Every structure is written in structure tokens, then in C-alpha cells.
Chain A
């Protein structure tokens, strides 16, 4: 079976211009040579810290930015060069849910109008009002919500409208960019469960962008860890979280405090030194070497390639064989009694 979405060696660079003549003085290499495949029906996570390129990559998939090089294949068609009419069907098939449901919904439109607009624009054949009611109920909102403005709803309700809008045209792929990050803990869990339920019900595929590792692990079958535009490690959630092989992944997992004081006391915390370098001037060789606890001279000169580790697992690190540290067993084995 071919992949639903195949991102093939995609790079996205932004020119940095300065001065009166807007001369190009540099470029931000936001995404650099990323290759990924999403199977139909799976939830794929992209994790990383600010500036790692996860959102830019998602925007490239949504065709909101054009890749500098590489191709984005969707159902066997390269959509990265498509324009106008040829692109329209893919706008229907790929939808998006954004982080902040307050700024991504028009404050002057009711949720009913917001949903009908999408249907109008894409010439939905059928009763628009029926479809709006159906969408609201799919997302757990009573029909009366069609008449409410965004400010009259809570954060969780607004995000449900955002999800209903993404579902309006029966998409195949939904790009969820930090879709639950702005929500309160108790609401976040409701939305996570809703997203899971919808994926199963409609056979959706998710490209889920997040910075919260526990949320991404919970929702996604597979994921990729990005750092400064490049993939550091990729694999199934089990592979990545039970035996992370890249020192960056290991540090990220270490940095997440667990809601369990006993487990936290038993863990040894190694926090990563230093800051994320500027993507304007990324380090030479392996981009992570400036913060890596195990870097050696070669890391500063050569860039490691993604190396297969069996299964879906791959990591780009020269020290991959020395790097078999599993996450602290004392923590991992804490199971409900």
C-alpha cells in the first residue's frame, strides 16, 4: 500500500533580507532534508522545541509555504508544485486544526456561520444547515452552539468548533498544530479523547504537531523528533519512549516531569545544558553537538545520516551503538497496582 502522505527530502528555507535594497543577507533553514511517510489511518507525531521546524513542515504539507526543494506526495500526486484549480481537491482532503481556538475563529461570526462558510466555499452539495448540525453533534456540541459567537464559548468548546470546521469536508488528513496545547488540563483530556474517537470513526490520518511528549505519545502511533530543522530520531511510540537512541530524545524525555512524586524522586535528572542555537546560524556537523553530552570531535565536522535500527526505528547519531540507554526502568515500571 502506498503512503497517504510522503514527504520526500523536503527543505524549507526563508531568505533574510536587510537594508534599503532588501539584499539577501542570509537564510533561515527552517526544515532541512526531511523525509517522512504517513500511512492511511495512522496518527503521526512531530515533536521538538521552538524553532525545530515542526510547524514549518506542517505548513508546507498544508501548502501554506512552498518547499525550497523536495516533493510532497499525497495519494501518489506531487502537490508541492500545484496551483489554483489543480490544488483545490487537496485543500478539501487536507484540513488543519490550530493551537489557539480564539485567534483561529473569526470573532464576528457565529460557529454556525464559520462552519457554513467552509461548506459554501467548497460548494457542498446537500443541506448546509443539516451538515452544520451534524458536525456540531459529531464534536459533542448541542445544536444551540450554532448561534454562539466564539467569545460566548469556553476554550474547549471553541476548539470543538475548530475540529468541526476541519471535519466539514470529509478530509483524509488533518494537520493538528498544537491542537490541545492551549487548553486546561481537564479540557485537554476531553479533546484528546475526541480526536482519537474521530480518527477511528472516520478513518482519519493525523499529522500531530506538539511539544508535550506525553500527549504526543498518547495520541500517536509513530513520531519523529526534530531539532533545528532536521529529524533526530523516528520510530513507533514504543520504540522511541522505551529505548530512545538519540541523546536529544533521551534529554527531552528526561526533561518531562511525571505527575508522580515517588517516581520523580527515583529518577536521576540530567538537564540539557545550553540553549537552542539560532536556525539562522546552525552549528556545523551534527546540529545537536553544541548541547550534546556525548559529542566527540567528529560531531562538529560531519553530519550523521538517519540510520535504521530495525522496525520503524531510525536515529541520526554517530554514537548510536553506545547509546542504548533505556529510559529509567524505575520510572517506566511504575504501573498502577
Chain B
């Protein structure tokens, strides 16, 4: 069943009367219980599109067009109160910085209890008992004692576990995790992602995993959207994209990362230039200035997103043969 669907979503930064589109005409869907990864570099629009879904856009950011359908409801038609009720209960978010997203002057326990009281209607000892269960579920040892502690008593990995507990409190249908492990060490990163994967599987929760790390996508996601310059440039089965990327940008990304399973004497093949700056206008395909295959039409016309790809000249060869 389709849980979330965005249709032609465009989000712009409106400043001094000027409109700068940050997310352009983005359409994708998430099925119940699946893990969808969104990959892209800075300025690709991956975070802004998920904030738009959550209804958490900063004032200067406006949804200009498009629809966001969640569980049969059009989120753009809901008022703030209805959206607030949806957040936490039906969809929740885990952010990159667990230090800045927890309140430093309130105990961990009270922050989890707040979410439970708000979303499940439990109170008092029932809410507390549920909070302790949640902490145990996310692997916080000695949960009763740690309920009384404050965020600064917790390490980065432990804080992220608390964030996951809060996100999970109301058993939402969808969790959006925006670079959940970027600030963490590798061994802790593996713990947290394994935990999220297990929890989403156990509870049948859908997960949108936003990341720049292609390895994480390969290990944890079934489907992937590759974003560049505010647009989805390629979308599909993770395996298919890794084995034979069709968009030159996806191919470029895969060739840019050093890999533990490859001969280290093979030089990396970086993409030339810098990621597209949303404030610079680029005609046609926004990737064309960096694309090794660009032709005249790429400069003139925006490629349409059809059948999972937005490119005038999709690649057909296997990436491995081309290396």
C-alpha cells in the first residue's frame, strides 16, 4: 500500500521578493514498511523535501506547487493543528544532531514521556513504564536510572538512541531519518542503523533514510532516489542503480567513492566541478555543466523524469565494464 506520495512538489526560498527553487517538481512514493533512501550532496534538496513532508519548513521556504498525500490525506489542505497531530503520531523524524534536537535542561525521561502523553494519551506511571520499555527497546541499559539523566550525560550514540525512542513512541507509520549517523563514529553508526532497521522491520514502519553515504544505502535500503540540484535524477531498486546506474550523476557518485573491496591503485574518477548552487541559474539539465556526456539538448531542455530517470541520454552500459 502506498503510504506517502509526493506529486510535482516544488519548494522555493522566498527572500526579498525573489524565489529560488530548492526542490523542483519532485514526485515519489513510499510503500508501507519499506526503506527508501534519498541520496544527494549539499544543496540537492534532500533535506528540504523531507521537511516539506513533515510540515516543518522554515518561514522563508514555501511549497509553491504539488501535492503531498499521506495515508490518503492531502497534507497541504490540513491546518497547523491537524498537522501537529499527525507529526509524532503518524510520522516522526530523527535528525542528524542528537545534541541540538534534545532539550538540554530537561531529563531524558521527561522528554520521552512528553511524546507518549501527547501522542498516546497515556499519563503518569503508564507513560513512564512505556518510556522505560522504549529505552530498553533502543538498547539503553539501566533504563530506569537513565530516565532521570540529562542529555549531557549521554554520548552521541546514546542520544541518537533516545531520539529514536522518541520518534518511535507513538508507533508511527513513517520515520524520516535525516543523516541520522553522520555525526557518529563508524562502530556506533553500525549499531544505530542496525537498530533502526530492526525496529522498522518489527513494527512495519516505513523509513525514509536521507544520507550522502552510498555504503549505508547499499546496506539498508531497498529503493533509492538520487537527487541533484533539487530534482530526482534517478530512482529505482537500489541493486539496479548500483549495478548499472543510468544517470551520469549516479555513475559519477559511485566512481567517486573509495571502496574497501576494490584495488586501491585504481584512481578515483571524480565528477568535475562543484555541486549545483541553487542560487545560480543553470539552463536545461542542472547536471549538464559537470556531465561528461552532455550535448546541446542538455543545455537547452530540462529532461523529463520518466520511468525512473531524468536524462536525455541515459547510460545503458554496465558501470563495471566502463571502468
Known: A184-B42, A213-B260. A259 touches B218 (CB 8 A): yes
Known: A185-B41, A185-B257, A218-B264. A255 touches B242 (CB 8 A): no
Q: How far apart sit A264 and B242, CA to CA, in the bound complex (Å)?
A: 12
A252 proximity list for chain B (CB < 8 A): 186-187
Within 8 A of A (CB), among B170-227: 185-191, 194, 212-220
Known: A186-B41, A189-B258. 9 other contacts (CB 8 A): A186-B256, A187-B41, A187-B275, A213-B260, A257-B213, A259-B242, A271-B190, A275-B188, A327-B260
Do A260 and B260 touch (CB < 8 A)? no
B306 within 8 A of A: no
What are 7 inter-chain pairs, A to B, with CB distance below 8 A?
Answer: A193-B267, A211-B185, A237-B264, A256-B260, A258-B215, A258-B259, A261-B239
A258 proximity list for chain B (CB < 8 A): 215, 218-219, 259-261
Known: A184-B212, A261-B242, A269-B194. A251 touches B268 (CB 8 A): no
B238 within 8 A of A: yes
CB of B293, distance to nearest CB on chain A (Å): 16
Report the tally of A-B residue pairs with Cβ distances under 8 A.
Answer: 156
B296 within 8 A of A: no
B269 proximity list for chain A (CB < 8 A): 189
A290 within 8 A of B: no
CB of B138, distance to nearest CB on chain A (Å): 14
Q: How far apart sit A188 and B185, CA to CA, in the bound complex (Å)?
A: 19
Q: How far apart sit A115 and B94, CA to CA, in the bound complex (Å)?
A: 41
CB of B83, distance to nearest CB on chain A (Å): 32
B271 within 8 A of A: yes
Known: A252-B186, A261-B238, A336-B323. A272 touches B260 (CB 8 A): no
Do A331 and B270 touch (CB < 8 A)? no
Within 8 A of B (CB), among A100-125: none
A188 proximity list for chain B (CB < 8 A): 256-257, 270
Q: How far apart sit A217 and B269, CA to CA, in the bound complex (Å)?
A: 16
B260 proximity list for chain A (CB < 8 A): 213-214, 217, 241, 253, 256, 258, 327, 331
CB of B144, distance to nearest CB on chain A (Å): 19
A79 within 8 A of B: no
Chain A contact residues (Cβ within 8 angstroms of B): what range?
35 or more
Contact of B186 among A187, A255, A259 (CB under 8 A): A255
Contact of A255 among B189, B318, B321 (CB under 8 A): B189
B318 proximity list for chain A (CB < 8 A): 337
B109 proximity list for chain A (CB < 8 A): none
Q: How far apart sit A254 and B242, CA to CA, in the bound complex (Å)?
A: 20
B185 proximity list for chain A (CB < 8 A): 49-50, 211, 276
CB of A12, distance to nearest CB on chain B (Å): 21
CB of B228, distance to nearest CB on chain A (Å): 10
Q: How far apart sit A273 and B188, CA to CA, in the bound complex (Å)?
A: 9
B219 proximity list for chain A (CB < 8 A): 257-258, 261, 264, 269
CB of A151, distance to nearest CB on chain B (Å): 13
In the complex, which of the residues B212, B256, B320 has the most CB atoms of chain A within 10 Å of its own CB atom? Answer: B256
Do B257 and A189 touch (CB < 8 A)? yes
A237 proximity list for chain B (CB < 8 A): 264
A211 proximity list for chain B (CB < 8 A): 185-186
Do B264 and A217 touch (CB < 8 A)? yes
A196 proximity list for chain B (CB < 8 A): 267
Do A337 and B321 touch (CB < 8 A)? yes
A37 within 8 A of B: no
Q: How far apart sit A327 and B262, CA to CA, in the bound complex (Å)?
A: 13
A192 within 8 A of B: yes
A279 within 8 A of B: no
In the complex, which of the residues B213, B218, B258, B262 has the most CB atoms of chain A within 10 Å of its own CB atom? Answer: B258
Do B191 and A271 touch (CB < 8 A)? yes
B186 proximity list for chain A (CB < 8 A): 49, 211, 213, 252, 255-256
Contact of B320 among A155, A192, A264, A336 (CB under 8 A): A336
B155 within 8 A of A: yes
A187 proximity list for chain B (CB < 8 A): 41, 270, 274-275
How would residues 246 to 286 of chain A score, 1 for a CB under 8 Å from any chain B CB and 0 otherwise?
00000111111111111110000101110110000000000
A251 proximity list for chain B (CB < 8 A): 187
Known: A255-B189, A275-B155, A275-B157. A185 touches B243 (CB 8 A): no
CB of B165, distance to nearest CB on chain A (Å): 17
Do A272 and B187 touch (CB < 8 A)? yes
